[in-house]
Amino acid sequence: DPWKPVLLLLSPQAFSTTRPRCAKDRRLRQKRAISERQLTRYFVDHRKVRVVGGQGGAGGYSFYSEPRKIFGGPDGGNGGDGGHVILKADRQTKSLSSVLPFYQGCHGERGGNKNCYGANGSYVYVKVPVGTLVKEDGEVVADLAQHGEEYVAAYGGAGGKGNRFFLSNENRSPTLCTPGEPGQERVLHLELKTTAHAGLVGFPNAGKSSLLRAISRAKPAVAAYPFTTLNPHVGIVHYQDYEQVAVADIPGLIKGAHQNRGLGVTFLKHIERCRFLLYVVDLSVPQPWIQLQDLKYELEQYDRGLSERPCVVIGNKIDLAESRINLPLLREQVSERVIALSALTGDNLEELLGHLRELYDTYVKTEQSRGQSPVRW
């Protein structure tokens, strides 16, 4: 039959979208894994922003007039105020990459006749991560450390006065009206300091990223070369009573980090916000207690008293033969509690999670005794 191919093409099966070959995949697609090199384009911890408040609206100039009432007097209304530019801390924002280099508030509207005031300009809100420092000329002017905190970066200008405002017994028909004032203009430097409960501090290739992957759902890059981690990563440790402890993986430090060597003070500042520290030491190297001394020295040189925060020493890579030999020597040299584990095999992670919860509970009780609210995730 010569019409048979045509009939097959026009059959309902040819246009069916329920067949497996033609139907769309309705399953949720997983996020594409971003490498550490690509992540540097998305994670930004400092930004220079120019903010300008909205200009106030000009005052109105008019005189009331209607039949049988020609000289009704001035009725020009005042102009609206300009809108502010407000920085607002938001826990859903994790980086300053979404912050633009320039923001301006909305302008106020001009005053109208019949004593109608101009509308005020709407505010412009800029969402920044929790833990953002706002600096102007090198001085800290705001610290947005809590979710929902706001800071007025630039005030809007006041609206102008209409000629009705200048009505007096001496001047019954004023012709004066003032323009709106310009908004405040400032140049601010935003600096992000990661807000986490615990901070993993250690030298490169000590196993910090592997440990964070083992105790949380964070996926920092792991490789056999130094400086694998180029950006801080925050992982959340979940407990059965629904408490969540945030652990930050700070990029590896080296000797002279306080002098801006290596990654330098760029990431030392992220340790300032950590309430307690987890020193990660590689047990397979000779004299691992030297690493702990060097780490504390770098922290103390950067910020006096930083190394005295509550801490625990984590001896990583206990699965190696050299580590079992160095473990008793490390415990003899240091006064802090030493937890030996293996982030690769998962040995003794339960002891770390239990002690991490003890440090968190102590922090919560201390903040509550001071009358302050602890940071919760």
Q: Is residue 111 part of a domain?
A: yes
Please check whether residues 156 and 233 belong to one and the same domain: no
Judged against a pLDDT cut of 60, whether residue 32 lies above it is answered with no
**What integer pLDDT is reported at residue 117 of this predicted model?**
92
**What integer pLDDT is reported at residue 231 of this predicted model?**
66
Higher pLDDT, 266 or 316: 316
Identify the domain boundary among 193, 208, 241.
Answer: 193
**What integer pLDDT is reported at residue 248 of this predicted model?**
83
Residue 298 — φ and ψ, nearest 5°? -65, -40
Q: Which domain holds residue 301?
A: 198-370
The CATH number for 166's domain is 2.70.210.12
Please check whether residues 115 and 213 belong to one and the same domain: no
Number of structural domains the chain divides into: 2
Please check whether residues 246 and 343 belong to one and the same domain: yes
Amino acid (one-letter) located at 249: D
Identify the domain boundary among 193, 216, 238.
Answer: 193
Please check whether residues 47 and 185 belong to one and the same domain: yes
Within the chain, where are the H helices? 4-9, 36-39, 208-215, 265-268, 289-302, 321-333, 349-369
Please check whether residues 344 and 217 belong to one and the same domain: yes
CA distances from 241 to 194, 198, 237, 307, 350 (A): 25, 19, 12, 31, 16
C-beta separation of 304 from 225 below 8 A: no
Q: Is residue 95 part of a domain?
A: yes
Q: Does an H or E element contain 59, and which?
A: none
Question: CA-CA distance, 373 to 141, in Å (whole number)?
Answer: 22
Identify the domain boundary among 162, 193, 224.
Answer: 193
Amino acid (one-letter) located at 328: P
Please check whether residues 303 and 171 belong to one and the same domain: no
Q: Is residue 307 part of a domain?
A: yes
Q: Is residue 148 part of a domain?
A: yes
Q: Is residue 15 part of a domain?
A: no
Using DSSP, how many helices (H) and how many strands (E) does the chain show? Answer: 7, 14
Angle at 125 between CA 121 and CA 126, to 5 degrees: 140
Please check whether residues 160 and 185 belong to one and the same domain: yes
Amino acid (one-letter) located at 85: V
The CATH number for 265's domain is 3.40.50.300
Q: Which string of DSSP letters, residue by residue, matches 176-197?
A: ---PPPPPPEEEEEEEE----S
Place of tokens 């922003």: 49
**pLDDT confidence bin for 229, thresholds 50/70/90:** low
C-beta separation of 306 from 334 below 8 A: no
Amino acid (one-letter) located at 242: Y
**What integer pLDDT is reported at residue 365 of this predicted model?**
92
CA distances from 312 to 32, 35, 307, 336 (A): 35, 30, 11, 6
Q: Is residue 73 part of a domain?
A: yes
Question: CA-CA distance, 166 to 234, in Å (whole number)?
Answer: 60
Cβ neighbours around 336 below 10 Å, total: 12
Question: CA-CA distance, 273 to 295, in Å (whole number)?
Answer: 17
Q: Is residue 11 part of a domain?
A: no
Structure tokens at 16: 């069916």
Strand order in the sheet with 233-238: 233-238, 244-249, 198-202, 276-282, 311-316, 338-340
Judged against a pLDDT cut of 70, whether residue 120 lies above it is answered with yes
Question: CA-CA distance, 97 to 113, in Å (whole number)?
Answer: 45
Please check whether residues 285 and 349 belong to one and the same domain: yes
C-beta separation of 247 from 216 below 8 A: yes
Please check whether residues 319 and 279 belong to one and the same domain: yes
CA distances from 297 to 85, 254, 255, 308 (A): 41, 11, 9, 11
Judged against a pLDDT cut of 80, whether residue 244 lies above it is answered with yes
Please check whether residues 313 and 351 belong to one and the same domain: yes
**pLDDT confidence bin for 319, thresholds 50/70/90:** confident
Q: What's the Rg (C-alpha) of the chain?
A: 31
Please check whether residues 165 and 202 belong to one and the same domain: no
Across the chain, mean pLDDT equals 81
Note the pLDDT tens digit of each residue in 125-158. Answer: 999 988 888 999 989 999 898 888 999 999 999 9
Q: Is residue 53 part of a domain?
A: yes
User: What value does the mean pLDDT take over residues 60-71?
Assistant: 82
Q: Specify the pairing of strand 102-104 against strand 46-52.
A: parallel
Please check whether residues 105 and 238 belong to one and the same domain: no
